[in-house]
Amino acid sequence: MIDAHTAPYGALLLRVVSGALFIAHALVKLLVFTLPGTAKYFGAIGFPGWLAYVAFALELVGGGLLIIGLCVRPVAALLGIELLVIASVHWPNGWVFTSKGGGWEYPVLWAAAMFALALIGSGARSIGPLKKKTPA
């Protein structure tokens, strides 16, 4: 049974924490590895280098949209798909993310959280979706 009183706050918590983590991951790509360095890494693992810029933008903008609660369902779904791609890169390394090269369990868990958020919606304290006013 879903508690209609507290569920919107659960979605808020999931939304804001996930958004902050996505922004942090985007900033690591920008400030630590640099975008050209991230693009080179993407190329080394078999992806086109330009996808690094797409991933950076998706994580930075998507994280911000999650935090403010705008377009939460499609953004969370896109981020979930990105995380499944990330999991596929880590699949050969085994289950545990502390394995050499990182395992797949962390991105799969995070992908599941994003798909759950896509199903739940934005929750409390969001600026979207805008609700239609019904005539009185």
Exposure string over 58-76, b if 16+ CB within 10 A, otherwise e: bbbebbbbbbbbebbeebb
- What pLDDT was estimated at residue 45? 93
**Closest by CA position to 66, among listed 12, 108, 115, 110:** 12
- What pLDDT was estimated at residue 103? 87
Helix axes 105-120 and 7-27, enclosed angle (nearest 10): 130
| Predicted confidence (pLDDT) at residue 133 exceeds the cutoff of 70 | no
pLDDT band at 127 (very low <50, low <70, confident <90, very high): confident
Q: Where are the domains of the chain?
A: 7-120
> N- to C-terminal Cα distance for the chain?
32
Distance CA 112, CA 89 (A): 17
